């Protein structure tokens, strides 16, 4: 990856309304879901890791003190995921204005792995496609890597729109990589209980 810089933006600003408590703090494979996602991102081939916080930001920031991540607070997190995506991308560009690409991911996919993030990066380096997206549930989704040529589109997206909408704008210049388990996200007590039951 000589001369190539790639950032990972972890969206973790939500209030976990459906869970009824901070899902970022829920134990997944022995550690809080948020710190686990950050650790995986840090271990990947990416150059930078940016975490976007919002609701419960003091609590969440307190568990990231020993993580080598850049933390940005999004005061507009309630406007939607697009708001946090844009805040994270803007912060990444202040770290490295010439960054080549950014991976957008969330913190509530328990089966995210270093290998999968590296697969996105490797496919990008090989093909230089504008978008490298994960594929699960017969649909593209996050984690997804976007070339810097897509940054203006991301920065102009509506606050209540996620990365998936942008992925669909460039079908001919998008590569898809299977993400087994990518459809599992821990949004509700039932989904978390089901996850624990399968991994106990």
Give the closest residue to 119 by CA, choosing from 172, 38, 44: 44
In a domain, 86, yes or no: yes
In a domain, 1, yes or no: no
User: Can you tell me the distance from the alpha carbon of 6 to that of 13, in angstroms, rounded to the nearest whole number?
Assistant: 22
Helix or strand run (H / E) with residue 101: strand 101-106
Beta carbons of 123 and 150 less than 8 angstroms apart: no
What CATH number is attached to the domain comprising 66? Answer: 3.90.550.10
pLDDT tens digit sequence for 142-161: 999 999 999 999 999 999 99
Give the closest residue to 139 by CA, choosing from 110, 162, 107, 108: 162
Question: Residue 96 — very low, low, confident or very high, per pLDDT cuts 50/70/90?
Answer: very high
Would you say the pTM of this structure is higher than 0.85?
A: yes
Q: What is the span of the domain harbouring residue 77?
A: 6-198
Give, in degrees to the nearest 5, the angle at Cα 110 between 120 and 119. 15
């Amino acid at each position: 990856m000589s001369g190539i810089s790639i950032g990972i933006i972890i969206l973790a600003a939500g209030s976990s309304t459906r869970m009824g408590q901070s899902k970022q703090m829920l134990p997944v494979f022995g550690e809080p879901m948020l710190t686990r996602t950050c650790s995986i991102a840090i271990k990947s081939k990416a150059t930078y890791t940016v975490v976007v916080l919002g609701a419960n930001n003091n609590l969440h920031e307190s568990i990231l003190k020993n993580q080598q991540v850049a933390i940005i607070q999004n005061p507009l997190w309630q406007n939607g995921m697009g708001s946090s995506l844009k805040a994270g991308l803007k912060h990444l560009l202040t770290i490295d204005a010439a960054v080549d690409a950014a991976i957008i991911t969330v913190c509530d996919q328990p089966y995210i792995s270093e290998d999968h993030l590296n697969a996105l990066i490797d496919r990008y380096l090989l093909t230089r496609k504008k978008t490298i997206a994960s594929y699960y549930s017969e649909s593209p989704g996050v984690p997804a890597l976007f070339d810097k040529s897509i940054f203006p589109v991301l920065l102009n997206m509506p606050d209540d729109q996620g990365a998936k909408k942008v992925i669909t704008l460039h079908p001919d210049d998008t590569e898809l990589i299977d993400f087994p388990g990518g459809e599992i996200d821990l949004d509700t007590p039932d989904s978390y209980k089901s996850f624990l039951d399968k991994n106990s």
